Amino acid sequence: MSTPLAMFEHTQDISLPLGSASSYPGNLAVCYLDTRNTTFAAVTQNTNVHVAHWDTRSDVVTWESFNIVDMATEKSITITHVGLVHPNARSLPLLVVGTVMGTQVYDVRTHRLLMQVNLSAVLKVTPNQEKTILELIVEAFHAMTTPYLSDESCLGTHVGDILILMCNGETSISTRRNLKEHNDSIADIATCRFDEITCSATNAGEIIVWQKPVKGVQSRIDTKQSLSCINVLRKQVIAGTMRGVLLFYSVVSGDLMAEVHAHARLITSVSVAPESAYVMSASEDSTFKVYKLHTRKPHAYQVEYRYGKRQKDHCIVGAQFTNGRGSAIAISSYDRTTLAMYKIIKKVSATE
Amino acid sequence: MSDRLLPVLYINMAGEMMYILEQRLRNIDDEKSGRVLKEILLAVLNKTNLEEIFKARGLPSKRSLKMLYERLAHSSIMRLNENSMDKLFDLMTMTTKFELQQIVMAEQVMTVTVNHLQGIMDTCPNDEEVKQLVEHAYTMIFSLYRNLSPFSWHMIRCGLLSYFQDAHVKISMLLRENRQMSSGHFYLFPDSEPIVLPKDGEPVGATKYYENGTVNTTNEIPTEYTYMLFEPKPDGLNVEQRSTTLGANMYKDASSLKIQGAGGTAKSEEEREGNELKLLESMFGDLAPSASSGNRAKKHSGELDLSMFDDAGEEMSYVKETEAVLGNVLTIDATRNKTIDTAMQEMKLERAPSAKKKTKSKGADMLDMLDEAAARPPTAKPKKATAPSGTRSRATSESRARSASKPNTAERAPSAGNRRKSSGVKKE
């Protein structure tokens, strides 16, 4: 067992403009625009979303806040998930907010609400099923994906339906028919922008690899584990479980390739850096870990541990690479008022 | 899922309330304190009350929840003034939050709840009536929650944690035992203790590579802690041991329930709009200050004044620190579609306009009742005074300068204003 390598260093803590980060999974979303050297990060805080953006060449961070209000009742709503998606049809990302009522889509620059979808409207339920709606409304929208290349955005719901939002232009968004292939709550949905692979996972352990464009099922993987989050990298689905295990499945064969007993608590986030093949897992056990995934011959298949850090007594809920190279990291924790930022300090050779 | 939040929250916080009251009543003669505890317990686990709690949707605001527990606490001859009730609620909030953060996995919310039920039963030992009510509550909890998946439990835990977000009242006992930091956050994984792994969890560190479904090679990665395997135990009532002791009475040997610095968790929250009083109404009937409850500020013979404070000095500093913190918090709207003018106006609003507005709202009754509580005299023992409990005169403790006459909402204490907690921006 080797000692942790000093690969990243803690550079700064960025204060949220108000309050602290929320406890719901997926309280941190990141979207980077390499062509503009700009990174966006969204953090949920109760009924507000705070969106930060910064130039990757400087450390100056600008915050903007969105108070999420139900348009019909004008009441603030509890947010259960946040996503930043960047469809081709747009120059800047969209802020997609999952709430206990449904979803709202905002323009990050103008703060304009572009669309509101109420769950009770899109999940067709007959009047005598009223109770079901109320149950699912609250747990809805745990998950959403950030497909960079397509103009679609997928949102997972409590009942297993996946809602599809289509972006047809700068301000035009529409819904498509729900995907109804899952029967349990969606734990997470993820897309790999290089290989154009989209996968979704339920908390009961089923992973679906979707055809492209996302319409029909290409294959199903039964992990037999309670999953909490997934991501896709180098044709592998990487799934985090409620028990702290990181599972690597081949998208092509559906086989389990590797499992890392990484954490002592639920894994709250799996983030990937496509350019460097880094994988990061973060957990409520206050730690986050970075690995390099080797899938290409002649190197043997390997999940190489690169870095581990304990954010002492932080219940980490969100952890994301803030660029495609995986050289910078943002960490958000429940009840904490800052985002912890890390940067790479040296390149570690793969054979170390 | 929010359908399922209130029952666990209610039982767990009620358990904490019973523990705290039991601690405070220890110095009072057995017969009287036993009667008080039993009367409150009968109200807490009353079958109709429980049914209303199980039927309710979503979580009430902390103000309403505090009022709910105030009603329950006052179902006996015991009386708490507003400061004591505030402190009681702070203690209940922080210990419940502590337990929710410490559990190994979300399913243990159930274990903590059963521990509380057991603890409630133990506050009135050998009482058949109490035993039956606890068993009834256990059956209700068990039938609602038994089929939940780990993920559903996780969502319940997230919902409860989000309710307790930003509550950082410092409990002296937890600070002393190195369970809480001076920032109000809790120590989650003390260096001296191994981490208990979740159920079915394997020790952290192994990386296994599979080929054709079987483990081919195994590697080790560095780890941060030492680990301990989880021992599964049933979550039944009257069993010898459950998988965690969180939720059991942690004040058993405590001599004092001090809070360091400010409290006021119920008041720091933004007031929620909506039909907040529905739940309270369905549990306690008409909420309008009736002849019996309206005069509660006036002391009836046989009532027992109980204080959460050791002396008047402690009560004074609690009130002062809390008001200083709450008074500094400005209402800042997070939306940017507000002009600077409106923001400026909001800053100048302070308390009076919001109080006026409330007199017309549905919350008026509730706030009136909170004022009644405020009008109750302080009950802490004055320093160095040795007046026997229950017979102390009102004149001896004037830490809260308030008249006992019918309160006027426009004169409500500063702490009752409509505020939203804001970090970073303080009023100069």
Give the separation between CA A32 and CA A85, rounded to whole angstroms.
10
- Which of B75, B50, B46 has its CA nearest to residue B292? B75
Give the separation between CA B6 and CA B159, rounded to whole angstroms.
10
pLDDT given at position B299: 52
- Rounded to a whole number of angstroms, the distance from the CA of B344 to the nearest CA of chain A is 18
Residue B329 bridge partners (DSSP): B426
Q: Which domain holds residue B37?
A: 2-186+237-294+301-327
pLDDT given at position A135: 43
* ipTM given for this complex: 0.90
Q: Is A238 helix (H, G, I), strand (E, B) or coil?
A: strand
Q: Which residues lie closer than 8 Å to A297 by C-beta, 6 or more apart?
A: none
- Taking CB atoms and an 8 Å limit, are B161 and A1 in contact across chains? no
Domains held by chain B: number: 1
Token match 């985002």: residue?
A: A339
pTM for the structure as a whole? 0.82
A97 sits in which H/E element: strand A94-99
Q: Is residue B112 part of a domain?
A: yes
Token match 């907010």: residue?
A: A97
- Rounded to a whole number of angstroms, the distance from the CA of A346 to the nearest CA of chain B is 20
A190 sits in which H/E element: strand A186-192
B182 chain-A contacts, CB cut-off 8 A: none
pLDDT given at position B16: 95
- Taking CB atoms and an 8 Å limit, are B205 and A261 in contact across chains? yes
The alpha carbons of chain A give a radius of gyration, in whole angstroms, of 19
B200 chain-A contacts, CB cut-off 8 A: 243
pLDDT given at position B26: 85
β-strands A227-233, A94-99: how paired?
unpaired
Q: Are B303 and B79 in contact (CB under 8 A)?
A: yes
Q: What Å distances lie between residue A108 and A84, A113, B357, CA to CA?
A: 9, 9, 35
From the list A75, A314, A335, the residue facing B165 with the nearest CB is A335
If you measure CA to CA, which chain B residue comes closest to A46?
A: B162
- Taking CB atoms and an 8 Å limit, are A260 and B166 in contact across chains? no
Q: Is residue B244 part of a domain?
A: yes
- Which of A243, A209, A244, A241 has its CA nearest to residue A228? A241
> Max CA-CA distance within chain B?
83
Q: Is residue B150 part of a domain?
A: yes
- Which of A348, A213, A230, A221 has its CA nearest to residue A292? A348
What does residue B207 show for φ and ψ, rounded to 5 degrees? -115, 120
A269 chain-B contacts, CB cut-off 8 A: none
Q: What percent of chain A has pLDDT over 90?
A: 52
If you measure CA to CA, which chain B residue comes closest to A74?
A: B273
Q: Is residue B347 part of a domain?
A: no
- Taking CB atoms and an 8 Å limit, are A18 and B334 in contact across chains? yes
Q: Is residue B280 part of a domain?
A: yes
Confidence of residue A256 (pLDDT cuts 50, 70, 90): very high
- Taking CB atoms and an 8 Å limit, are B334 and A24 in contact across chains? no
Give the separation between CA B40 and CA B318, rounded to whole angstroms.
26
Q: Which residue has the higher pLDDT, A100 or A32?
A: A32
Q: Which residue has the higher pLDDT, A302 or A160?
A: A302
DSSP state of A336: -
From the list A2, A46, A65, the residue facing B222 with the nearest CB is A2
Residue of B199, B221, B342, B420 to mutate, interface with A, max A Cβ within 10 Å: B221
A100 chain-B contacts, CB cut-off 8 A: 2
Q: Is residue B388 part of a domain?
A: no
Q: Is residue B396 part of a domain?
A: no
- Taking CB atoms and an 8 Å limit, are A259 and B210 in contact across chains? yes
Q: Is the dihedral of CA A201, A205, A206, A207 positive or negative?
A: positive
User: What is the tens place of the pLDDT at every residue in A103-150?
Assistant: 889 999 999 999 888 877 777 655 444 444 444 444 444 345 544 445
- Taking CB atoms and an 8 Å limit, are B224 and A308 in contact across chains? yes
pLDDT given at position B380: 58
- Taking CB atoms and an 8 Å limit, are A259 and B105 in contact across chains? no
Give the separation between CA A69 and CA B223, rounded to whole angstroms.
43
From the list A46, A308, A310, the residue facing B162 with the nearest CB is A46
**pLDDT tens for the 428 residues of chain B, in order:** 456 889 999 999 999 999 999 998 888 877 888 889 999 999 999 999 999 898 887 788 888 899 899 999 998 888 998 899 999 999 999 999 999 999 999 999 999 999 999 999 998 888 899 999 999 999 999 999 988 888 889 989 998 999 999 899 999 989 999 999 999 999 999 988 899 999 888 889 999 999 988 998 999 998 888 998 888 888 888 888 888 889 988 888 777 778 887 777 777 665 554 456 667 777 766 554 443 443 444 455 667 788 888 888 888 888 888 888 776 654 444 444 444 445 445 444 444 444 344 444 455 555 565 566 666 666 555 554 444 444 334 433 343 434 334 444 344 444 433 434 333 333 33
What does residue B353 show for φ and ψ, rounded to 5 degrees? -65, -40
- Rounded to a whole number of angstroms, the distance from the CA of A215 to the nearest CA of chain B is 27
Q: Are A290 and A278 in contact (CB under 8 A)?
A: yes
If you measure CA to CA, which chain A residue comes closest to B212?
A: A255
- Rounded to a whole number of angstroms, the distance from the CA of A245 to the nearest CA of chain B is 8
- Taking CB atoms and an 8 Å limit, are A308 and B2 in contact across chains? no
Q: Is residue B149 part of a domain?
A: yes
> Max CA-CA distance within chain A?
62
From the list B198, B221, B334, the residue facing A243 with the nearest CB is B198
Confidence of residue A216 (pLDDT cuts 50, 70, 90): confident
Q: Are A23 and A335 in contact (CB under 8 A)?
A: yes
Q: Are A165 and A152 in contact (CB under 8 A)?
A: yes
Q: Are B127 and B35 in contact (CB under 8 A)?
A: no
- Taking CB atoms and an 8 Å limit, are A4 and B205 in contact across chains? no
Confidence of residue A231 (pLDDT cuts 50, 70, 90): very high
Give the separation between CA A241 and CA A247, rounded to whole angstroms.
8
A16 chain-B contacts, CB cut-off 8 A: 423
- Rounded to a whole number of angstroms, the distance from the CA of B206 to the nearest CA of chain A is 5
From the list B57, B201, B332, the residue facing A18 with the nearest CB is B332
What the block records as the tokens of A38 is 């700009």
A258 chain-B contacts, CB cut-off 8 A: 207-210
A65 chain-B contacts, CB cut-off 8 A: 334-336
The alpha carbons of chain B give a radius of gyration, in whole angstroms, of 23
B156 chain-A contacts, CB cut-off 8 A: none
